[in-house]
Amino acid sequence: MMQPPPLLDVRNLRTEFSSHRGAVRVLDDVSFSVRAGRIVGLVGESGSGKSMTALSLMGLVPSPPGKVTAESIQLSGNEMTRLSPDEMRSKRGRELSMVFQEPMTALNPVKTMVQQVGEPLAIHSNLGRREIREKVLRMFEMVGIPEPAARLDVYPHQLSGGLRQRAMIAMGLICEPKLLIADEPTTALDVTTQAQILRLMVGLRDRVGTAIVMITHDLGIIAEMCDEVNVMYAGQIVEQANVFDLFDRPSHPYTRGLLASIPKATEKRADGRLNSIKGIVPNLAKLPGGCRFNPRCGDAMAICRQQPPPLADVGGGHLARCWLHTKEGATA
Ligand SMILES: Nc1ncnc2c1ncn2[C@@H]1O[C@H](COP(=O)(O)OP(=O)(O)O)[C@@H](O)[C@H]1O
Ligand SMILES: [Mg+2]
């Protein structure tokens, strides 16, 4: 049977920043797709390019110094790379929207909750003030904000972190986008609130059918809620698989390292960092030759230091960017 085309299809997304020292490519040919109603994860250590991917797709990378290019970015069959910044802004908030990690920095401290959560509607719809208020109230109910009517006219600092994050999700969903990009939406929250918010998001997908790009450094969250996973390292996707295959047959040594470092609930570090892959994400201006992961890889062979590996199919559409899974690597 023919598969319907994906809701979002990203081909060879590249984002660069220029400075007096030259251009640094922070995203290098990132390609992935999201089918309607699916939850797709982007996972990787801090600095791997997850937020840049989100900002690039949202058209929120400041240019200059940033420059976003792509072979193609299709949303519901529409080519986004041909849109002007104005057209892009009109899609944003309506067809796709984003929830940020720290609501306190994303929310305006001097606007009331109803003003800002309702703002996308004020921009994208012709609803009046009273209708917008009504709709914000219904969204607050939907995202599980207790006593929602009492939260409409308060300021962000008057809400707890968990309620602010719920309000952010309400704002992201208020125009009923087909796709929500959530960038570490629970990283700043305690474990109980985190679990509630994740359940809320899965529930929204089940009831409303919103597709979600879930950005996290936490493979535990990926396991719990994602259908498909993209593992990012140093600006590239290094492994792409459905969630069962990824955990069943992690094929990139970096993914295996991430899996080995899943913290137990009792030893979660407050700064959200992972514990045990040795070494650090390389400086993108001084990438190692060959595979970007080779200096940290326990399985590195000679070829890994010489040539960058291709993103190769290791079976059934499961992709890994690693010489271990290629004929060339096997004979190296
Ligand atoms: N404004 C910027 N100028 C230059 N480089 C940037 C800028 N913002 C982020 N970067 C670089 O882009 C890379 C990816 O960052 P980011 O997407 O924020 O990572 P993640 O969200 O996975 O932690 C990092 O190396 C970071 O230093
Ligand atoms: Mg980030």
- Report which residue type is found at 216: T
Is 2 among the domain residues? no
Cβ(145) – ligand 1 distance below 6 Å: no
Is 257 among the domain residues? yes
**Mean pLDDT value of segment 106-120:** 93
pLDDT at 176: 86
**Mean pLDDT value of segment 252-257:** 96
Is 137 among the domain residues? no
pLDDT at 83: 86
- Listed residue (291, 143, 132, 277) closest to 219, CA to CA: 277
Cβ(216) – ligand 1 distance below 6 Å: no
**Mean pLDDT value of segment 70-75:** 95
Q: Looking at ligand 1, which atom is closest to the CA of residue 55? A: 17
For 262-308, write each residue's pLDDT tens digit: 766 555 555 555 556 888 889 999 999 999 999 999 999 999 999 99
Are the C-beta atoms of residues 9 and 72 closer than 8 Å to each other? yes
CA atoms within a 13 Å half-sphere pointing along the CA-CB vector of 321: 26
Cα 181 to middle of ligand 1, angstroms: 17
Mean of all residue pLDDT scores within the chain: 90
**Mean pLDDT value of segment 108-129:** 93
Residues 6+ apart with CB under 8 A from 34: 6, 7, 8, 9, 40, 179, 211, 213, 228
Question: Structural domain of residue 225, as residue ranges?
Answer: 8-95+177-331
Cα 182 to middle of ligand 1, angstroms: 17
- DSSP label of 92: B
The token pair at 314 is 């290791």
Is 35 among the domain residues? yes
* Proximal ligand: closest to the CA of 28: 1
Total structural domains in the chain?
Answer: 1
Write the CATH number for 53.
3.40.50.300
pTM: 0.92
Residue nearest to atom 27 of ligand 1 (CA): 47
pLDDT at 275: 53
For the chain, give the percent of residues with pLDDT over 90. 70
Q: How far apart are CA 11 and CA 254, in angstroms?
A: 23
Is 324 among the domain residues? yes
Q: How far apart are CA 329 and CA 257, in angstroms?
A: 20
Cβ(165) – ligand 1 distance below 6 Å: no
Is 148 among the domain residues? no
Is 160 among the domain residues? no
Is 83 among the domain residues? yes
Are the C-beta atoms of residues 164 and 151 closer than 8 Å to each other? no
